[in-house]
Structure 1
């Protein structure tokens, strides 16, 4: 931070400068950020002379709904007064409460006692919406810089309640007028019960007639103001454009679906033609793996159970039997043999 930024000029008999410590700069920045762009309602009361400043300031009282802003303004004013007590004991803070100096505050139900002292240009007395643009830290004054947003229109006074006329059954059939606030609670309950009991078929017929009249009036106004040549042509044009848009959209959607279906079937057929041999080879490979696995299991079972003394019985070897004598056959001589067809000579 340069030395020029850390000094501020003081208006007085002798134009001198005062060194501004960093904590004062931080306090000013924090206060500006707290109240900048705040919107509130205020009442421009008068223009008063401030002897401490030697000039006039405009007095704006807060509207009675700005209690949160009032608390923040008063709290900040107390903190600023305590802070500047060391540097500028006679610092004027443009936030006051009640009467001060030449200003005499008059209590009003629409105003708060907290007032803001600032400088306005060409503004008439009255109630306005204000916005806090910034906070001016001068040599001997702290002032809120306000901007008028718009004037607040005076609220309309509530109209007095008219007297209510109720019919009471009596021998003379007189109409008694009951003003609001004259009858007690039990009397009002009795009159309401009598009024409810006096509702009959004629009242329902009157209500239906009013409905019929309102419907007829609405239809007549619609036919008179809205049904014309221009609106009819516009409606027909809109319906035609809507129908044409729907038909063209449906045609484009059908064309897109057809192209998509043809391309999808083409890609599916090409994929099937390409993937079929691969699938067959994969199935054959899996079949060989499974077959080899079962063959391996069979060979292991045969080796463990059959060849190594399993449950199967091996055939016993034949033993020689000497109980029977062996027969020896001698071959016959060739000249003693009778030819197989010798008997055919005697025929």
Structure 2
């Protein structure tokens, strides 16, 4: 099933907010979960009309089994209102046309997923994400590596390994035997190949995340909602800018009006204050001048009085009192 079909089916039904929240929470629970399982084969699912690969959990995955069964029950109960025939790719035991065979190393819980061609056997799997399709909840798995079978040690060798602390490896080359002692486990050296492998895994993770985003989140409803949100955001920003300009204009006009009134009122007061300060400063300088003049005049003798100019040219005129009798 390609991406276009998935997106068209996902966009055919309007998802409520609680469904989106439930899908996001379920993805966060199972994302990047590592587990061991047995690939049992491919089986046809009548409910979706397609084939799915069946992976049985290894017996040590008890915690993951409980989590899978709990989530499967919750998803079935949730989708009874929206999609009554929703298929969740998690089963416990046999079902319809599939008969689960009990194995000592397996659990009854199985995961139904889409995988590439694999050989039967045990593998390490990683849960990438969950796909919520029109009538199916699918776990997207990634095959990490195959599990190598463990070699069974003989009783004699196990007894000797328990008794001794240092392991001796005996190698046979032709007819001669050489013994190597003091063999210690050393961590493998990291090289360029390991660094390139890490980069490749990062690239695959980014690619898968982008693919999941394009497949699950990029649809007609989300695009229209984004366009509507951007339109409302631009309209709100424009209205807010116009209201802010109007407020600033009114504030500037009123501020200038009140400033002119304040200036008109304070101008006479400022002039009177300046005149008062001018008189104080002028009187202070006049006082200093008078004090300085008085000090300078005290140290000098008084100047002699000079006769008036031109007084020596004229002689004093005296009038004598004549006797009255002389006139008689």
**TM bucket by the smaller chain?**
0.3 to 0.5
TM (norm. structure 2) is 0.45
Quick check: which one's helix share is greater?
Answer: 2
TM (norm. structure 1) is 0.42
Q: Which has the higher contact order (CA 8 A, sep 6+)?
A: 2
